[in-house]
Amino acid sequence: MIVNPYHACTCQRMGNTHALCQGQLTLGEQGKRLHLSLKQGEQALAIVLDRCVMQDNLPKCDGLYLWKSHNRSTAVLIELKGAGDIPKAFAQLGYVRHQRPEYQTLVAYWRSTSALPVQQKAVIVTNGLLSKPELERLERQHNIRVSALLHCEHTTPTPDLRPYL
């Protein structure tokens, strides 16, 4: 699939030029990784937002998964974050979701590829922990619901995004 004008920011099976792309459907940096496994009949893209789609100094998150099956379509913003920076991850995700026209362009593109409405979600991959009250406070503060706060370190298996679609 071609995502104009951001085709160069899409992770490929081979020949990726972005360090964040660790395979066609795997994003990762500094020991935080996330993979999306597909079932038959599904389609997906992993897109690098930070320093590719979005190259300015405004807040941005790391990546975006666009996924669809025969009856659902989803856009999932991804932030890979160290333990001490979890509040910043909420700010970045909220800003991208509500303020970045590039994100809106990508969601509109995904919507145009099928007749299905696009669900919008957000996921943080971190090696830190967050209490439920703090999670709820940050979601309210930044007007974004985080579908999952996934744990990942160098020594742990790469989480799969599939259960959170």
* Confidence check: pLDDT of 4 > 80: no
Looking up tokens 């991959």, which residue turns up? Answer: 125
Name residues whose C-beta falls within 8 Å of residue 39's C-beta, 6 or more positions apart in sequence: 69
- With beta carbons less than 8 A apart as the criterion, state whether 57 and 107 touch: no
Return the percent helix, strand and coil in the chain, to nearest 5: 30, 30, 45
Two tokens, residue 24: 């066609």
pLDDT digits (tens, 9 = 90+) for 6-25: 888 999 888 778 899 999 99
- With beta carbons less than 8 A apart as the criterion, state whether 65 and 21 touch: no
Bond before 5 cis per omega within 30 degrees: yes
pLDDT digits (tens, 9 = 90+) for 42-91: 999 999 999 999 999 999 999 999 999 999 999 999 999 988 899 999 99
